[in-house]
């Protein structure tokens, strides 16, 4: 067979789509199982498990000195987790943060970030060690072969496939992670409540979710707060999915001068991080937009002792209404989306409360079975040796005679195990007969031959007998645990009680049914204002009387001056065919000489690259039509009612590639339009020649342009009204231009 035929035999023909599908599924499952989702048994993701195990192997225990985080991260990456140091350090940092975890697993020393979103210091500056609960509840008994060890990524080390968790860590610490096509979001819970629920399940495997919730009341967030939809929790814990509504804790204090202070001492769990500063800015925005006039001052007085955000109100403020406004308009009331997804039997699965506890309990039974099977084997070996030594002490003179008469260790061991006396010198025939009847086991014989003379002291012999009695008792106990499920269950309950007694803490989150927050918005007195926008894009509004007093200066200093109502909206048209709407209430109201704010501060969708062509009130658009002119000489008229939309940004006109709008104008009393090109061509024609189109249309050609020519300007004139412009330092009366037809070249004016 030649080489070509061999190659043809090895070629597998298949659909490309099938290969892509299989490869993507393999990749997705790798991310889901090996990186993003926690294991239901120990509640840890692989990076967390590897970090904790590495610290355990390095001896960085709770009662030993801290070690540099960089040392831990480097060792973990080199041995177990080759996915970059950032992911390992991030996992380590989160496991130290008591405001994220219900029960931190790592004891951090140094700057590990704070609740307000400040990041941790670099790993070379921080230090860490294991918490005592981590050793006692997750890592103990690893030396007793209680879990399977698997090869690491390069098969040079062994790592545990799961840690022998003695409590449902998945519930206690919760978990968040995004995989491919799925995500997990499990809230933290109170350790004591979870342990009591686990004990209840151990005593009665048929207990319902409702029965378990007599112990697990609901999430217990480390940030405290108030869960307000208590009645929804049962269904959430049955299905493993749902939404939990959380409010911050608000206290009311009286300050000097009769003013009221709203003090926020606990925040919703989703608010931790940068959302605290977002909350402060949202409260400030409520005041700036005149949604409330009650705020005197806002201050963040939070410290290491806890959260303290203070909002000072006026004397006559309606406190209850203001607090309800905070719940409705800010993240002081927020939603935690529950999706209790974890890896069970190698597959991702959404689990309710009972299933998570069952998964951990079944795992604890497996761990306990392996543990006590190994302990029983060791105790049986110990009993065998102890019985041999006790028997040897009773015939110690004979054994000494055998040892003295033997030529080597093998000869002496053969006599002790098999009764072989050939070659051994005995003092008497009786000794030889007795020696031939000894029959020790191999293990007993080795122990006798290794025994030191001081073991023959009376006290040592008494201690040996006591040890033997303890060994027999242990064997009986271990056999009882392994043979009777009730005994093993009691062992697990006792271990849970020890953990609960040492590490329990009071619940932080209050659970209740609260009425939905209702507040009365302050009724804004409707009034007419003048909107001013200068050439730098700064916006402000002033009242009509101020405008009348400074009319000339207003028009000289501002690019756009528009009459509007404080309850209405402003429409901003740009050269790329976009329409941005802005609420007038969001624009600062003040004095004529106030600076105002940049337009992109009140319209997040407005790009700095867009040129603003026209600003008008939305109410005016409904009354008139608009004309659009582009640089490529496309023109159309659009009914203003098409722009009465609620979206903040919409497309105002469709454009050809590389084209842009040069003019948007409201048609009121205009009769003609004059177009001017870059090369100096002017074309005047009647506005009636421009057809009305939809906003999504491109329009029709208004003027024939040379190959490289573009329109620069559009002028609008009224009948019998002179309209004079300055073009290249020359006055031109547009009204005197000869009227022509649309889609002609126009007249070139030479200067």
Q: Which of 655, 654, 705 is nearest to 676 (CA)?
A: 705
Q: Under DSSP, is residue 263 helix (H, G, I), strand (E, B) or coil?
A: strand
Q: How far apart are CA 678 and CA 658, in angstroms?
A: 16
* Beta-carbon count within 10 A of 211 CB: 14
Cβ pair 565, 515 in contact under 8 A:
no
Query: Can you say whether the dihedral through the CA atoms of 33, 37, 39, 42 is positive or negative?
Result: positive
Which segments within 212-305 are labelled E, that is strand?
226-227, 241-247, 249-254, 260-266, 295-300
- Answer for the pair 697, 654: CB distance below 8 angstroms, yes or no: yes
SS3 of residue 478 by DSSP: helix
414 CB-near residues (< 8 Å, 6+ apart): 420
d(CA 707, CA 575): 22
Q: Please state, in angstroms and rounded to a whole number, the distance separating the CA atoms of residues 300 and 114.
A: 14
Beta strand pairing status for 528-533 and 538-543? antiparallel
Q: Is 125 a catalytic residue?
A: yes
**Contact criterion met (CB below 8 Å) for 165 and 141:** no
Round to whole Å and give the CA distance between 292 and 15.
64
How far apart are the C-alpha atoms of 677 and 714, rounded to whole Å? 9
Helix (H) or strand (E) holding 664: strand 661-667
Burial pattern 303-325, b for ≥16 Cβ within 10 A else e, equals: eeeebebbbbbeeebbeebbbbb
For residue 392, which of 464, 342, 325, 343 has the smallest C-alpha distance?
Answer: 464
Phi, psi (degrees; rounded to nearest 5) at 353: -60, -50
Pick the catalytic residue from 125, 327, 454, 716.
Answer: 125
Dihedral (C-alpha) 673, 676, 681, 685: value to the nearest 10 degrees?
-10
Q: How many CB atoms lie within 10 A of CB 51?
A: 27
259 close to 300: Cβ distance less than 8 angstroms: no
Catalytic residues: 125
């Amino acid at each position: 067979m030649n080489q070509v035929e061999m190659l043809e035999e090895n070629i597998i023909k298949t659909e490309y789509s099938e290969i892509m599908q299989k490869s993507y599924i393999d990749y997705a499952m790798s991310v889901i199982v090996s990186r993003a989702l926690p294991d239901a048994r120990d509640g840890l993701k692989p990076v967390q498990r590897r970090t904790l195990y590495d610290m355990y192997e390095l001896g960085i225990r709770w009662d030993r000195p801290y070690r540099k985080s960089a040392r831990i991260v480097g060792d973990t990456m080199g041995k177990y987790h080759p996915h970059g140091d950032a992911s390992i350090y991030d996992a380590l940092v989160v496991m130290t943060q008591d405001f994220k975890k219900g029960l931190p697993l790592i004891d951090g020393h140094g700057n590990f970030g704070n609740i307000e979103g400040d990041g941790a210091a670099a790993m070379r500056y921080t230090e860490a060690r294991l918490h005592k609960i981590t050793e006692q509840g997750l890592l103990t008994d690893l030396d007793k072969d209680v879990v399977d060890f698997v090869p690491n990524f390069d098969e040079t080390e062994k790592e545990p496939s799961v840690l022998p968790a003695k409590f449902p860590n998945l519930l206690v610490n919760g978990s968040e992670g995004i995989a491919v096509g799925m995500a997990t979001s499990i809230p933290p819970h109170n350790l004591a409540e979870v342990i009591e629920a686990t004990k209840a399940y151990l005593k009665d495997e048929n207990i319902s979710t409702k029965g378990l919730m007599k112990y697990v009341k609901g999430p217990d967030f480390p940030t405290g707060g108030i869960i307000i939809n208590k009645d929804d929790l049962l269904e959430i814990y049955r299905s493993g999915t749902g939404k939990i509504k959380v409010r911050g804790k608000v206290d009311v204090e009286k300050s000097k001068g009769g003013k009221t202070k709203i003090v926020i001492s606990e925040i919703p769990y989703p608010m931790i991080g940068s959302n605290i500063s977002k909350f402060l800015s949202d409260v400030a925005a409520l005041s700036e937009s005149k949604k409330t006039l009650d705020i005197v001052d806002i201050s963040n007085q939070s410290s290491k002792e806890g959260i303290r955000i203070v909002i000072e109100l006026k004397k006559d403020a309606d406190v209850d209404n203001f607090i309800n406004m905070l719940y409705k308009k800010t993240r002081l009331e927020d939603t935690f989306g529950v999706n209790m997804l974890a890896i069970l039997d190698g597959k991702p699965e959404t689990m309710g409360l009972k299933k998570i506890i069952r998964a951990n309990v079944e795992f604890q039974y497996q761990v306990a079975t392996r543990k006590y099977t190994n302990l029983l084997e060791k105790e049986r070996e110990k009993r065998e040796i102890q019985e041999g030594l006790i028997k040897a002490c009773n015939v110690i003179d004979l054994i000494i005679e055998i040892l003295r008469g033997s030529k080597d260790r093998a000869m002496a061991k053969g006599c002790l195990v098999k009764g072989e006396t050939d070659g051994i010198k005995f003092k008497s025939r009786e000794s030889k007969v007795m020696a031939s009847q000894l029959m020790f086991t191999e293990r007993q014989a080795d122990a006798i031959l290794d025994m030191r003379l001081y073991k023959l002291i009376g006290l040592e012999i008494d201690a040996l007998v006591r040890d033997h009695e303890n060994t027999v008792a242990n064997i009986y106990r271990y056999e009882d645990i392994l043979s009777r499920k009730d005994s093993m269950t009691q062992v697990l309950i006792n271990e849970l009680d020890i953990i609960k007694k040492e590490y329990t803490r009071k619940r932080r989150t209050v659970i209740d049914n609260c009425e939905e927050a209702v507040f009365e918005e302050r009724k804004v007195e409707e009034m007419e204002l003048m909107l001013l926008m200068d050439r730098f894009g700064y916006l402000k509004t002033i009242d009509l009387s101020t405008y009348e007093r400074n009319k000339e200066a207003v028009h000289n200093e501002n690019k756009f001056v528009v009459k509007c109502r404080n309850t209405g909206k402003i429409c901003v048209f740009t050269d790329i065919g976009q329409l941005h709407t802005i609420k007038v209430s969001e624009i600062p109201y003040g004095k004529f000489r106030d600076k105002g704010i940049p337009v992109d501060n009140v319209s997040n969708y407005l790009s700095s690259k867009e040129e603003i062509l026209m600003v008008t009130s939305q109410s005016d658009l409904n009354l008139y039509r608009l004309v659009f002119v582009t640089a490529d000489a496309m023109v159309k008229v659009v009914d203003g009612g098409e722009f009465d939309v609620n979206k903040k940004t919409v497309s105002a006109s469709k454009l050809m590639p590389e084209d842009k709008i040069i003019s948007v104008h409201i048609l009121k009393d205009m009769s003609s339009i004059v177009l001017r090109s870059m090369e100096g061509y002017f074309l005047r024609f009647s506005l009636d020649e421009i057809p009305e189109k939809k906003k999504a249309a491109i329009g029709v050609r208004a003027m024939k342009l040379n190959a490289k020519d573009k329109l620069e300007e559009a002028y609008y004139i009224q009948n019998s009204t002179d309209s004079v412009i300055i073009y290249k330092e020359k006055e031109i009366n547009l009204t005197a231009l000869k009227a022509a037809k649309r889609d002609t070249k126009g007249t070139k004016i030479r200067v």
